[in-house]
Amino acid sequence: VQRMLQGLTPTQFVDMPWEEREAVYMQYLVSPKILDFEGDDVPHHEMIESLLFPGVLLRREENVGADSEGRQIVREARQVYYMHNTFAHIYDTGTVAAPSKSLDEEEEPWAALDLKQLLACKKAEWIRVQIQGGGPLDCSDLRSQIKVKEIAKVVQELIVQFPGERFSILK
């Protein structure tokens, strides 16, 4: 992480002009390829992705710090990452897994958090969310229903922000 921050501390890094910080983020976080993610195991994918694409470490507070400078780096890194890359998330709807947290906890599912990043893409020409899996096309299986429920609120916001042909969702 310190190498990516050009040997600077997070405080020194955030004091740099935005153009210089953005150039660092672009170097480590932007890929010309479509970034594909399959399944629901985000920590596993981030571990694999960090080996192939080390800039993702800038998107996590535990790597850059939980203070205001670390949170600023995470926020800026996520903004560049989601604004300048093309993503394909493939969710497996074949089996039902028990939730890892109790239902009364406030933490949002990672799929909803990822989709929320799209709300920052105000100039996007089009956005397509595609749910793929082994379940029926009408999403009548439990796994698909859970996934749809998890993302429904964010999808509604995306529909409002990207009206008409600018947004589509399909299974």
The mean per-residue pLDDT over the stretch 126-145 comes to 73
φ/ψ bin of 164: left (φ > 0), alpha (ψ from -120 to 50), beta (otherwise): left
Q: What is the mean pLDDT of the chain?
A: 75
Token pair for residue 49?
Answer: 């992705």
pLDDT for res 34: 65
Task: Say what the pTM is.
Answer: 0.51
> Are the C-beta atoms of residues 58 and 111 closer than 8 Å to each other?
no
Pairing of strands 86-90, 34-38: parallel
pLDDT band at 79 (very low <50, low <70, confident <90, very high): confident
Share of the chain above pLDDT 70, in %: 72
pLDDT for res 22: 94
Residue with tokens 């790597």: 63
Alpha-helix runs per DSSP H in 53-127: 61-64, 68-84, 110-117
> Are the C-beta atoms of residues 107 and 92 closer than 8 Å to each other?
no
Task: Supply the angle between the helices 110-117 and 142-161 in degrees, to the nearest 10.
Answer: 20
The residue type found at 10 is P
Token pair for residue 80?
Answer: 């560049």
The mean per-residue pLDDT over the stretch 136-141 comes to 74
pLDDT tens-digit map of 88-135: 655 444 433 333 343 444 567 777 887 887 787 777 777 777 666 567
